Each structure stands twice: as C-alpha cells, then as structure tokens.
C-alpha cells in the first residue's frame, strides 16, 4: 500500500513481531502490499524470511517498529507480546495501528489494550482461526474487534493474510473471548479423533476402520480427515503445537471458570495435552494427543 504526501509517495510499513508458524507466512503475505520488517526472539528463524526476499530483519523489536504505520504481533502468549511491545516502546509512533493476532486470553488482552492506550496506539484485538496451511495461503479467518475509525488500516492487513474477517464490535477483548470459545471446539475435535483411534487400537481393531466408517457420513469433516490421517501416518509435523495447545486450553479453562461456566471437556483435554507435553511431545502437532500415555 502506498500513500502520497505532497509530491512524495511511500510504501506503508508493517512490522511483524514473531515469525513462528503463523507469523512467518503472515509476514510473507504482507510483503505483497507493504514494506515489511520482522523481529523474532530466535533471530535465525527470521533470517530464513529475509532469504526469501523483500523482508527486512531487525535485531530488536524497537528496530522493527521504527517508522512502522502498523505493528502486527504474532507471539506465543500475553507475557511474550507485552515484553516485545515494551521493548519496542521507544520507537513506536503515536497513532500507529496495532493488530494483535496472538491468542492471549481475557486477562492479557486487557493489559495489552492498556499498553496501547498509554502509548497512543490504535488497538485491534484480532486472533485468527486457521493453521499453518491457511496462513501460508493467505486464508486465515480473522476475528476482529476494535475502533471503527481506523478499520481501513486494519482491513489492509487482514485482506493480505486472510480470506474473511468477522468484525464483532468495538470493544477490544470481545474477539479474544470468541477465540476461546472456538478453541474449545478445536480441542474437542482433536481429542475426540485421537481418542477414538486410540480406543480402536487398544481394543484390537485397526484404527483406520474408524475413518472408513466416518467417511462421507454426518461425523465427517476436513478437520477429522486431516488429524486422523496424521495420526495413522504417525506424522506429527506441527501446524499447532502441543505446547501452545496447553497454553490455549488453560486460557479457556481459566476464562470459563471466571465466568462461572463448567467446562469438563476442555479441562480433561487440558490434562491430556499436559500429559503429552510432559512426555516430550510439546513441539509436535496437537494430533499428538493420540500419543498421550
């Protein structure tokens, strides 16, 4: 995106803090429309992006956000995001737009919105639905809440990284709350698939028969097929890690508890993910729920 001031035209700049599974393809998709700078705690991961061209890799969050019109955060959790933006604070431009894509939960989103207010940033709470492949294809679904007056700036980012944006109001925090509800569904589907296959195996039945029976019927879904195929192939290449699943399941359980909602399924699922993590499967895909002993 370019903007013209007087006789000068410049490409607008986006800084992406975090180049993990979602952050890296987000940065790559943004470079079509923006000048992009990135920062990542582990520098080597960000360097891989520079090699693909058109992305400037910064050594610090402050260097990444210097001169940025839009800041995008895609880090693990609330504390990591807060630490990064605090480090970036001296270089943040007042009036810049901050698009916060990480899943941080109810409490942290309030802290981040407070930081934005203190530093004169226009804050969009914008967690995403979709995983590695949709992120790479620019087909994330963005759940967004935030002020109406700068939505055009946020929209330019969302259009580059996603296929759909669901606006759910102006109150920051609303999008993060909806994201928790959605994650509880993702976890139920993942554990349901993993446990069904594990039960079949444990009862001496070929787990592939579960898939055979479900295929084409009302229980079938693209998600079921993907996770079941990964489990049957023993391929746990990560789209969403067990470690991040523990983090997110805990966010759901804590928020539900605070709201007085009993969540037996998500709480049990959290224990299962935690077991998988403790058994050394933290970096594997969440389908490794199947491996939790």
Ligand X SMILES: NC(=O)c1ccc[n+]([C@@H]2O[C@H](COP(=O)([O-])OP(=O)(O)OC[C@H]3O[C@@H](n4cnc5c(N)ncnc54)[C@H](OP(=O)(O)O)[C@@H]3O)[C@@H](O)[C@H]2O)c1
Binding residues for ligand X, per CB under 6 A? 18-23, 40-42, 45, 74-77, 80, 83-84, 102-103, 128, 131, 239-241, 244, 248
State how beta strands 55-57 and 35-39 pair: parallel
Q: CB 60 → ligand X: shortest distance, Å?
A: 12
Give CA–CA dist 186/257, Å, rounded.
19
Question: Which residue, 187 or 290, has its beta carbon nearer to ligand X?
Answer: 187
137: closest CA among 1, 32, 17? 32
Give CA–CA dist 231/242, Å, rounded.
14
Length of the chain equals 293
- Angle, helix 242-259 to helix 174-202, in steps of 10 degrees: 120
Question: Which residue, 21 or 157, has its beta carbon nearer to ligand X?
Answer: 21
Distance spanning both ends of the chain, measured CA to CA? 50
State how beta strands 128-129 and 140-144 pair: antiparallel
Q: CB 217 → ligand X: shortest distance, Å?
A: 26
Question: Which residue, 186 or 210, has its beta carbon nearer to ligand X?
Answer: 186
Question: Which residue, 1 or 22, has its beta carbon nearer to ligand X?
Answer: 22
Question: Which residue, 206 or 283, has its beta carbon nearer to ligand X?
Answer: 283
CA-angle at 100, arms to 97 and 104, nearest 5°: 150
Q: How many other CB atoms are found less than 10 A from the CB of residue 205? A: 12
194: closest CA among 269, 130, 250, 271? 269
Q: CB 245 → ligand X: shortest distance, Å?
A: 8
Q: CB 283 → ligand X: shortest distance, Å?
A: 8
Q: CB 10 → ligand X: shortest distance, Å?
A: 28
Q: CB 286 → ligand X: shortest distance, Å?
A: 8
What is residue 104's three-state secondary structure? Answer: coil
Q: Please tell me what DSSP assigns to residue 285.
A: B
Half-sphere exposure of residue 63, counting CA atoms within 13 Å on the CB side? 8
Q: CB 279 → ligand X: shortest distance, Å?
A: 19
Question: Which residue, 165 or 207, has its beta carbon nearer to ligand X?
Answer: 165
Question: Which residue, 156 or 244, has its beta carbon nearer to ligand X?
Answer: 244
Give CA–CA dist 99/122, Å, rounded.
8
Position with the least CB separation from ligand X: 20
């Amino acid at each position: 995106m370019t903007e013209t001031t007087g006789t000068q035209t410049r490409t607008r700049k986006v800084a992406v803090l975090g180049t993990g599974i979602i952050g890296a393809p987000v940065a790559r998709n943004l470079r079509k429309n923006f000048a992009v700078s990135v920062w990542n705690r582990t520098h080597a991961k960000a360097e891989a992006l520079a090699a693909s061209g058109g992305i400037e890799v910064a050594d610090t969050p402050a260097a990444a956000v210097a001169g940025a019109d839009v800041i995008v955060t895609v880090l693990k959790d609330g504390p990591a995001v807060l630490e990064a933006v605090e480090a970036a604070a001296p270089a943040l431009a007042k009036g810049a737009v901050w698009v916060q894509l990480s899943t941080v939960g109810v409490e942290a989103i309030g802290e981040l919105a407070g930081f934005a207010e203190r530093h004169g940033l226009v804050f969009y709470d914008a967690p995403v639905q979709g995983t590695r492949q949709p992120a790479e294809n620019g087909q994330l679904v963005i759940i967004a809440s935030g002020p109406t007056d700068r939505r055009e700036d946020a929209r330019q980012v969302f259009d580059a990284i996603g296929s759909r944006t669901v606006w759910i109001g102006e109150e920051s925090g609303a999008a993060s709350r909806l994201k928790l509800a959605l994650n509880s569904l993702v976890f139920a589907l993942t554990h349901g698939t993993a446990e069904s296959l594990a039960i079949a195996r444990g009862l001496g039945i070929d787990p592939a028969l579960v898939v055979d029976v479900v295929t084409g019927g009302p229980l079938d879904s693209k998600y079921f097929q993907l996770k079941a195929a990964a489990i049957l192939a023993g391929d746990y290449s990560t789209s969403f890690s067990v470690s991040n699943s523990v983090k997110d399941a805990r966010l759901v359980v804590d928020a539900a508890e605070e709201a007085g909602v009993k969540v037996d399924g998500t709480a049990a699922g959290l224990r299962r993910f935690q077991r998988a993590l403790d058994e050394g499967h933290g970096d594997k895909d969440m389908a490794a729920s199947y491996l939790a002993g």
